Amino acid sequence: MWIQKGNRIEIERHDVLFEECLRYLNRNQNELLHEVDIENKVIRKAVRCEKEIVLIQLEATDQHLLLSFPLRVPDSRSKAEIVHHVIDWMDLDRDLAPFYQLAKQDHILNHIVHGREGLRMIGVPDLFEAMAWSIMGQQVSLHVAYLLKKRLVERYGESVVCEGKEYWTFPEPGIIAKLTKEDLLSLKFTNRKAEYLLGVADIIATGQLKKTALQQMPLPVMEKSLIAIRGIGSWSANYVMMRCLRHPDAFPAADVGLHNALKKVIGSHSKPSLSEIMEWSEKWTDWRAYATFYLWMELAAE
């Protein structure tokens, strides 16, 4: 899957449409956790390893994704950890051929998948970051959610500097768990969101909730386990299952972006009803997470 060549690592590209992945990652100017250079087709990101923060750079050749280290080359153990992070982040181990075959036979998916083959569902590998993002995004616009994340990261995250630019990592749950509600209220969190975030930080920091344990559960059990956490409803649970736990059939059916994308694709003047969405999604079984992601990209194309 990957080989080391000097201080660089080549990861097999397979059918990755790297440019489209970068376009998704470049969708908001307030994003702090990576930097995309669309013109040169390069992305940089700070990754927290066991003992250090490593700045990585990812670009594409014809056959590989080329991983390099602009600041300092990590040791072998950290390199392996970073490669695993990149593979998880871009879902590189997933065989998308069955999804594309399904899409060809579906009047909705065929429209949004054609021409985007190779777009990978960009994930959020860290469980705390994924759950925190799902909390920050509840019942607000994407713009507001990004502002909340920006304030949180700049106040409590860690960073490295390269060529005059600062690259941030998401705050660790142990750091956030020690805060007071007032600390988060000062960042413009609501009372409820502050309480939810502190609670999630605590159960992850203390080991009560682990990504590996969740991933071993069947989808209904996984969803039930997440919904049992205060502040995590069906939308948040499915978002986390989709972007972090990588279950291909997770489906945030109540997502506003999903509704708007379907409205656009079917050419309707009004949003489809939830019952209509659930009926359509039955045909996408086993791939509803990818169907959702591709529909989101249809909105990003506007």
* DSSP track, the chain: -EEEETTEEEEE-TT--HHHHHHHHTS-TT--S-EEETTTTEEEEEEE-SS-EEEEEEEE-SSEEEEE-SS----HHHHHHHHHHHHHHTTTT---HHHHHHHHT-TTHHHHHTT-TT--------HHHHHHHHHHTTTS-HHHHHHHHHHHHHHH-EEEEETTEEEEEPPPHHHHHTS-HHHHHTTT--HHHHHHHHHHHHHHHTTSS-HHHHHTS-HHHHHHHHHTSTT--HHHHHHHHHHTS--TT---TT-HHHHHHHHHHHT-SSPPPHHHHHHHHGGGTT-HHHHHHHHHHHHHT-
- The phi, psi pair for 60, rounded to 5°, reads -115, 135
C-alpha pair distances (Å), 94 with each of 12, 133, 272: 12, 24, 30
* 88 counts as catalytic: no
Pick the catalytic residue from 75, 183, 249, 255.
Answer: 255
Cβ of 24: how many Cβ atoms within 10 Å? 16
Nearest residue to 100 (alpha-carbon basis) of 295, 287, 298, 301:
287
Residues designated as active site: 255
